[in-house]
A and B are shown apart, each in its own frame.
Chain A
Amino acid sequence: MTAPAAPIPRNDLIVCPHCDAAYTLARPGHGERAVCHRCHTVLIMPRRKAGLQIIALSVAIVILITAAAIFPFLSIAVAGAHNSVSILDAALAFSDGPLVVLSLATAALIIFVPLARVLLSLYVLVPIVMDRPPAPQAAQAFRLAEALRPWSMAEIFAIGCAVALVKISDLADVSFGPAFWMFAILVVLVVVQDNFLCRWSVWNALSKPAKS
Chain B
Amino acid sequence: MERAEQTREVINARDLGVVACTRCLQVWPQGVQTCARCGRKLVQRDLKSLQRVWALWIIGFMCYIPANLYPMLRTRTLFYVQEDTIVGGAIELMHHGSIGVAAIILIASVVIPLAKFMAIAFLAISVTRPSTVSQSQRQLLYEVVEYIGRWSMIDIFVVAILSSLVQLKVLVAINPGLASLFFALSVIFTMLSAQAFDSRMIWDAQQQGKGQKQE
B117, CB-defined interface residue at 8 Å: no
Question: Please, which residues of chain B bring their CB within 8 A of the CB of A151?
Answer: 150
Question: Please, which residues of chain A bring their CB within 8 A of the CB of B20?
Answer: 13-15, 17, 20, 22
Q: How far is the CA of A17 from the CA of B22 in the complex (A)?
A: 5
Taking the closest CB of chain A, its distance from the CB of B163, in whole angstroms, is 5
Given A14-B25, A83-B165, A94-B176, decide whether A20 and B150 contact each other with a Cβ distance below 8 A.
no
Flag if B18 contacts A15 (CB, 8 Å).
yes
Taking the closest CB of chain A, its distance from the CB of B80, in whole angstroms, is 15
B41, CB-defined interface residue at 8 Å: no
Flag if A96 contacts B157 (CB, 8 Å).
no
Q: How far is the CA of A105 from the CA of B172 in the complex (A)?
A: 26
Taking the closest CB of chain B, its distance from the CB of A1, in whole angstroms, is 5
B196, CB-defined interface residue at 8 Å: no
Q: Which residues of B (4-53) have their CB < 8 Å from a CB of A?
A: 5-6, 10-14, 16, 18, 20-29, 31-32, 36-40
Contact of A85 among B25, B101, B165 (CB under 8 A): B165
On chain A, the number of residues with a Cβ less than 8 Å from chain B's Cβ atoms is 77
Given A20-B13, A21-B10, A96-B175, decide whether A1 and B36 contact each other with a Cβ distance below 8 A.
yes
Taking the closest CB of chain A, its distance from the CB of B153, in whole angstroms, is 6
B154, CB-defined interface residue at 8 Å: yes
Question: Please, which residues of chain A bring their CB within 8 A of the CB of B87?
Answer: none
Given A81-B171, A199-B24, A200-B25, decide whether A93 and B203 contact each other with a Cβ distance below 8 A.
no
Q: How far is the CA of A203 from the CA of B36 in the complex (A)?
A: 12
What 1/0 flags go to A97-128 for Cβ under 8 Å of B? 01101100110011000000000000000000
Flag if A163 contacts B158 (CB, 8 Å).
yes
Question: Please, which residues of chain B bring their CB within 8 A of the CB of A172?
Answer: 166
B151, CB-defined interface residue at 8 Å: yes
A130, CB-defined interface residue at 8 Å: no
B195, CB-defined interface residue at 8 Å: yes
Query: Taking chain A's interface residues, is the majority helix, strand, or loop, or is none over half, making it mixed?
Result: mixed
Q: How far is the CA of A39 from the CA of B164 in the complex (A)?
A: 43
- Residue of A with least CB distance to B45: A20
Flag the segment in B55-63, B125-133, B177-185 that touches A: B177-185
Contact of B25 among A15, A74, A140, A163 (CB under 8 A): A15
Flag if A93 contacts B6 (CB, 8 Å).
no
Q: How far is the CA of A56 from the CA of B72 in the complex (A)?
A: 41
Question: Please, which residues of chain B bring their CB within 8 A of the CB of A199?
Answer: 24-25
Q: How far is the CA of A37 from the CA of B195 in the complex (A)?
A: 22
Flag if B25 contacts A83 (CB, 8 Å).
no
Taking the closest CB of chain B, its distance from the CB of A85, in whole angstroms, is 5
Flag if A22 contacts B139 (CB, 8 Å).
no
Taking the closest CB of chain A, its distance from the CB of B189, in whole angstroms, is 13
- B residues in contact (CB < 8 Å) with A: 1, 5-6, 10-14, 16, 18, 20-29, 31-32, 36-40, 101, 104, 135-136, 139, 146, 149-151, 153-169, 171-172, 175-176, 178, 180-181, 184, 191, 195, 199-200, 202-204
Q: What are 23 A-B pairs at a CB distance below 8 A?
A: A6-B36, A7-B32, A15-B18, A15-B25, A37-B10, A78-B171, A79-B171, A90-B157, A90-B161, A93-B159, A93-B164, A94-B160, A96-B175, A143-B40, A150-B150, A156-B154, A159-B151, A160-B154, A160-B156, A163-B154, A164-B158, A203-B25, A210-B36
The 9 lowest CB-CB distance pairs between A and B, nearest first, are A160-B157, A15-B20, A93-B164, A203-B24, A81-B168, A164-B161, A20-B200, A10-B27, A22-B13
